[in-house]
């Protein structure tokens, strides 16, 4: 949802569940199978979410233009990917005015409830829950039986 507030409202604050949100969100994105998504699409989604998260922790309100400059991608590609992740409930795009010499920019932020919203969107789109690594056997040795 594009809002017109001056500050992002759904940023995961530093020190508050950032590790679990990062891991859980990574696993949810990797395990998702939205119609039309490919493995490389999921990697692009992970890259964008991680850059947004890192830039937010650094105190920067990341924008699509900023991320495009960091990654060498075209701003349109970043905007398209951001809209897709916003529709799935993973990120918010918040309209901010008079920032860095621009009349307005869209600040990107990872939602605190991104994992739950992504899983819900996945069920709505596919009729199935996200499978966390369904085809990868565990490399953890089994515990010996007592």
DSSP helix/strand/coil, 29: helix
| Beta carbons of 109 and 94 less than 8 angstroms apart | yes
Task: Give pLDDT tens digits for 101-110.
Answer: 667 889 999 9
> Which structure tokens are listed for 1?
């949802």
Give the whole-angstrom CA distance, residue 125 versus residue 99. Answer: 36
Task: Give pLDDT tens digits for 18-32.
Answer: 554 578 898 899 999
| Beta carbons of 94 and 7 less than 8 angstroms apart | yes
Assign 15 a pLDDT band (cuts: 50, 70, 90).
Answer: very low
Q: Where are the domains of the chain?
A: 2-126
Task: Give pLDDT tens digits for 59-117.
Answer: 888 999 999 999 999 999 999 999 999 999 999 999 888 666 667 889 999 999 999 99
For the cut 90, the answer to whether the pLDDT of residue 132 exceeds it is: no
Beta bridge partners of 25: none
Instruction: Give the strands of the sheet with 91-99, arranged side by side.
Output: 2-3, 91-99, 102-110
Q: How far is CA 117 from CA 2, 63, 86, in A?
A: 16, 22, 10
CATH topology of domain 2-126: Arc Repressor Mutant, subunit A (1.10.10)
């Amino acid at each position: 949802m594009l809002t017109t507030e001056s500050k992002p409202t759904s940023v995961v604050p530093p020190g508050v569940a950032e590790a679990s949100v990062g891991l859980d969100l990574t696993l949810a994105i990797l395990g998702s199978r939205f119609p039309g998504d490919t493995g490389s699409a999921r990697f692009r989604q992970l890259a964008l979410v991680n850059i947004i998260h890192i830039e937010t922790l650094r105190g920067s309100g990341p924008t699509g233009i900023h991320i495009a400059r960091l990654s060498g991608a075209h701003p349109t590609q970043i905007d398209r990917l951001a809209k897709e992740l916003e529709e799935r409930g993973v990120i918010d795009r918040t309209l901010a005015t008079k920032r860095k010499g621009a009349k307005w920019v869209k600040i990107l932020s990872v939602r605190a409830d991104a994992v739950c919203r992504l899983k819900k969107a996945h069920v709505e789109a596919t009729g199935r829950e996200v499978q966390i690594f369904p085809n990868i056997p565990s490399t953890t040795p089994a515990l010996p039986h007592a």
